Amino acid sequence: MSDQLPSIPPVLESAWKRFADYDNTAENLQDQYYLLRRWVLYFSIIATFLAIILDNFRIWFPGPVITFLQVLLIMVPIIGSVIVAFLSKYQQGQKYLALRAGAEEILKEIYKYRTIMRTNANRDKWLNGRVAEIQRKVHRSLGGEVVVKPYKGEHINPRYYPGSADADEGIVDLDSDEYIRVRLESQLVWHIKKIQEHQKSRMRFTIAILMFGGIGALFAGLDMLFAGIAVWVALTTAISSAVTNWQELMGVDVIIPNYSKVILELNILRDNWISLTSKEKTQVEFFKMVRSTEKILWSQNVQFISAMQEAMEEAEAQQEKIVEEMIEMSQEVAGRVQEEILEEARRSMEEAAQAAAASGMIEDHQRLPIGMIFNAALGPAQAVILHDDEEDAPDGFGEEKPSAPAKAKAEPTPKTKPEPELEPELSDNDEVETDEEVDPIFDAINSAVTAAIEKSDAMQSSKQTQKKASPEDLVEDEATKAAQDAADEYIQDAADAFSLDDEE
């Protein structure tokens, strides 16, 4: 072999360049498309797992971990929906299929140029016209937006692998034996290899779908013996659905019969050529074989693209549904978790109030409604808002309510507004004698609550004595103001108690 390469016709070099650019861009878009689609399915599985953990096993984790998992549960569906929106916006799958079709059609014309048209004086003009027409079709199919990634390889033919049996530099014209070696047999070997890979993939997909479906059924059945194990059925279902969607997206059920047809037809063409005698292997028969081979390969490519477009549309619609379900599930779980956290906070405050009553710090009839204490603990601003809005305020807050009617009849009601009794300030040496050790913070808070209750009761008693002498609207204003003053004083005392504890 001479070290000097034969001269390359400019039109052939240009055609190889267009093919290489389209082929390289199609491969990059294909890899990007399937990578993003795969992550959408990953996120659906992750969201299901997080929902199960937060909904059923939240008590196993500390508060910061729960907060982190809640943030993840909110972020994962959002990221998945953003990826789906991106793929829908830029149509990565459709673009790679259009560029793949354009590349394969240019390759078909290149081999015709090097075989059937090799003796035609106008073959350069013919090839240039065909490549230009193909580029226009690709441009139209992509909506006028063709952004290619230039091929920067060493060889003019990007599929040239030196040392392989079917190596083709893509420069010289081809006779019958060379065409069979670099084109027909090369495609035959490639399709046989790919169909075996896809058959193995389909087998793995089938095993995974059946396995996770069986595990889900097993979990559902074992729930009678192991309570709570059925919650994992949702995870196995999500994994099974993701594998099914990925199988449809890869199009293995379409590719295998398509490739089988190509292998069959190429074997028939090769066997037919081999069966011819030397005299029968004429140029006419050679051109017929080239036309038949290129027609089979191009028909396979057209059918493949059409089938893949349908498979992609179905799989993409299913992924959009998966993302919608993922968002709904995350919202439901996040709402339930927040409700449980608030309920735990209310229950904790109720237990604290009961403990204070049991220790004798306050009487049962003097305890404020737990809703009032809870809302006040959330912050002064929210307490004031709830006080001003009677519809949102807890029962008894800011409203006129009877307070110990039997006691009011037994004891004479003073005509003047009594001063509320204040709890004595505790010194550093003072200790509260109770059955259980009381936290100083709760001690100070309950003292403030007691003072607020006594002040509120005093205002209620004063209101009843002045009820006949004062208008009803004035009484309601005084009672409301008293309740608000009591709540404000309670909040301020609670804040001072916390500050005192920090200083100690």
Work out the average pLDDT over 112-132. 93
pTM value > 0.75: no
Average pLDDT over residues 285-307: 91
- Side-chain half-sphere CA neighbours of 96 within 13 A: 17
Supply the mean pLDDT for the chain: 75
- For residues 310 and 324, the model is more confident at 310
Provide the pLDDT for residue 473. 47
pLDDT digits (tens, 9 = 90+) for 346-388: 666 666 666 666 665 555 555 555 555 555 545 444 444 344 4
**Amino acid making up residue 353:** A
Half-sphere exposure of 164 (CA within 13 A, CB side): 14
Q: Provide mean pLDDT across the span 81-107.
A: 86
List the structure tokens of 180.
Answer: 């069979």
Q: Which residue has the tokens 């001063």?
A: 419
Identity at 5, one-letter amino acid code: L
The four Cα atoms 96, 97, 98, 102 give a dihedral, to 10 degrees, of: 100
How many Cβ atoms sit within 10 Å of the Cβ of residue 309?
Answer: 15
Q: Which of 423, 374, 416 is nearest to 397 (CA)?
A: 374
Residues 6 or more apart from 319 whose CB is under 8 A from it?
A: 37, 40, 41, 84, 245
